[in-house]
Amino acid sequence: MRSKGFSLKFPMSLISPISPMASVGLAFVVLLTLSGCGQGGGGLDIGRALPSFSNPTVPGLWTPERMADALVADVPVTDDLGENTGVTDPEPAPVPAEAEQTPYRVSAPVLGKLYFDTPAGASVCSATAVQDTGHPGRSDLVWTAGHCVHAGKGGDWYRNVVFVPSYNNEGQPPAAESTNSGTSRIAPLGVWWADRAAVAPEWIAQGGPTGGAGATHDFAVLHMRAQTGATASLEETIGQAAPVWFDAPVATRLPAVKAWGYPAAAPFDGERLFSCQDRPGRLSLRKDRPELYRIGCTMTGGSSGGGWFAKNPAGRLALVSNTSIGPAGNTWLAGPRLGAGARAAYDEASPGATPPDAP
């Protein structure tokens, strides 16, 4: 299929300014934080080689039943983050998550779910198919959170990592899925296995499940292998892929962002795609780290890794962040600003890729 122009629904009217599992879903200020701003510090040995990523295909592993059993292991931080050491704006008011219009292949085709196995069991996050400048129109790249791919400090790569674009395309409730079980309903475009993964060395060195450790570098880029017998790339199969906007403006210069994801922790069930739109604010966890983007949003665990989009000067949507952390009260989300570290991960996932210009 020929790749079509990228599109996602994003209202022209902007939000008013903010006020003065064994699974890993939304790693709330725990595994919910990592960014791509490429600032080192703290004596991290970020030049060291990372351990190899190995993810052999296991045919038939991710059945609809096993996907349904992948739960979110939320260990949210308290709503009070304590003393912020950098510039932090007032906490945003909660923005109720809105259900995405079905079918998702039309309204938000680049979004999907990421499944993987941790030592604790089957887990789930959200992810986005993105463009590959090294292979225009034939991208096999997927963007998600680092904590959905690697355990962080003292941990290892997760196993059996797969991407399911347009998961549950028609937004059917779990009961309907059981009755009409079959991969074609849950995974209309197939189950794509990762064969390459890149995360920031900062996440490997300091990422953790609590306190937002490593949040400024909580991003990951995956390269997916073609499905058995298929010649079309992920982008060609979906029909499009999202551009990545590295070094997008700081929060105070973005009038609005919209975050998508498949929240799985209560009161959600992980079967439907939701989104939140808000004017971003700044969240600083450490003085020597970049500020995170933060928006009001009630999405819960399972939405981690979902793409955040903003309109560039040309009026086109581009990915500027991913869901990383949030509080126990599920009132806001935060994600990294994608800088040099994120660009390096992108290049590593797709050798030969040319650094994309601002879209």
The answer to the question of residue 2 being in a domain is no
- Statement: residue 271 has pLDDT above 50: yes
CB 236 within 8 A of CB 2: yes
CB 160 within 8 A of CB 115: yes
Higher pLDDT, 166 or 72: 166
**DSSP per-residue letters across 147-177:** GGTB--TT--B-EEEEEEETTTTT---HHHH
What pLDDT score was predicted for residue 6?
53
- Cα distance from N-terminal residue to C-terminal residue, the chain: 23
Nearest alpha carbon to residue 172 among 233, 104, 92: 104
The answer to the question of residue 91 being in a domain is yes
pLDDT digits (tens, 9 = 90+) for 172-222: 987 555 444 567 889 999 999 999 999 999 999 989 887 788 999 999 999
Bridge-based pairing state of the strands 274-278 and 98-99:
antiparallel
Nearest alpha carbon to residue 220 among 245, 257, 194, 183: 194
- Statement: residue 32 has pLDDT above 80: no
Indicate the pLDDT class of residue 230, thresholds 50, 70 and 90. confident
pLDDT digits (tens, 9 = 90+) for 101-148: 999 999 999 999 999 999 999 999 999 999 999 999 999 999 999 999
- Residue 50: Cβ within 10 Å count: 17
For residue 214, give its domain range: 66-349
Q: Output DSSP code: residue 327.
A: B
Higher pLDDT, 242 or 226: 242
Residue 293: which CATH number? 2.40.10.10
* Three-point CA angle 66, 157, 81, nearest 5°: 90
Tokens 């500020």 belong to 291
Total domains in the chain come to: 1
The answer to the question of residue 21 being in a domain is no
Q: Where are the beta strands (DSSP E) in 61-200?
A: 98-99, 111-118, 121-130, 141-144, 159-165, 192-199
pLDDT averaged over the chain? 83
Sign of the Cα torsion 125, 129, 135, 138 reads positive
The answer to the question of residue 51 being in a domain is no
The answer to the question of residue 18 being in a domain is no
